[in-house]
Amino acid sequence: MLNKQAFLCVTCGTQYPEAVDSPAACSICTEERQYVGLDGQQWTTLAQLRQDHGNQLTPEEPSLTSFHTQPRFAIGQRAFLIQTPAGNILWDCITLLDDATVVAIQERGGIRAIAISHPHYYTTMVQWSRAFQNAPVFLHAADKRWVMRPDACLEFWDGHTKTLPGGLTLIQCGGHFDGGTVLHWPAGAEGRGALLTGDIVQVVQDRRWVSFMYSYPNYIPLSARKVDRIVAAVEPFAFDRIYGACPALTVAEQAHSALHRSAERYKGAIQIE
C-alpha cells in the first residue's frame, strides 16, 4: 500500500490533505498576495520539519504565551495561547507542532478553541485541533475558499463579531483578506485591553506604529476606504496594546492612538498628489 502524507508548502507552511504525491502547486502561494519561492514550489512534511526545527515559547504577559519556530520556517509568524478561566484560546497558528509544544500547552491547561486571523496562517490547524481533543477552529466564512485541508473541526462564522469563551471577541476587519479577523482580549495589558492582530494590522519595526497592506511580500497597498473600515471595526473596543504577527513586534502601550495616527499617516502616503 502506498504511503500517504499531508504535505506542507515550504514557502507558506500550509498543510494539504493526505496524498501519495505532493500537489502540483500551492494555491495559497500562486495567488497574488503570496509568491512561489526562487527555487520553485517545494514541499516537506511535519515529520521532516520536526527533525531540525523547534518552537520557542515566550511569556508575553500574565496568561499570554507566544510560540514561534526556530530556525524560521515559512512566513515566520507567531501564535498565542491565551489562558482564561473559561478555557484557553489559541490565536493564529504556526506550522510546527511537536511533542514539546503539546506538553507545554497541556501544562498551561490545553486548548478549548482555536481562531485564526486569515488564510496565510491556516497552516496545520487541523493537526493542532486533533492534538487537543478536536478543539473547534473558528474561521471567517468569507475566507472559506482558501481552506486547503477541509475537516469537521472547522467552524465558519459570519458577520462582524463573534464571542469566544473567556470574554474574548473576534472582529472581522477585512483588509488583507475579506474575512481578515483580529482578536480582542479585554483582560490583556493589565486590564486595559489588547488586540491580537496577525498582519491584518501589522506592527512595524518602529513599534510606535502599525501599517496595512493587501500583499506584504508583493508591496500591494490597501485603499484608504479599507483602512478606514479596519479602524472603524475595532473602535468600539478598549485596547492599549497590540500584539502583531512577528516575534517581538508589539505596540506595548497607547495602541489605540497608535492605530489612529498610523491610519492617517498611511492614507496620507497613498493619496494622489
Q: Where are the domains of the chain?
A: 8-39+51-270
Tell me which CATH code domain 8-39+51-270 carries: 3.60.15.10
Residue 166: phi and psi, rounded to 5, are 85, 10
d(CA 36, CA 31): 9
Q: Provide the grid cell at 252.
A: 506595548
User: Could you tell me which of 57, 68, 100, 65 has the C-alpha nearest to residue 83?
Assistant: 65
Q: Note the pLDDT of residue 161.
A: 98
Is residue 28 within 8 Å of residue 14, measured between CB atoms?
A: yes
> What SS3 state is found at 186?
coil
d(CA 206, CA 221): 19
Is residue 60 within 8 Å of residue 250, measured between CB atoms?
A: yes
d(CA 258, CA 238): 13
Q: Note the pLDDT of residue 1.
A: 58
| Residues 208-242 pLDDT 10s | 999 999 999 999 999 999 999 999 999 999 999 99
d(CA 156, CA 167): 19
Q: Note the pLDDT of residue 225.
A: 97
Identify the segments of the chain with pLDDT beneath 50: none
Length in residues, the chain: 273
This prediction's pTM: 0.97
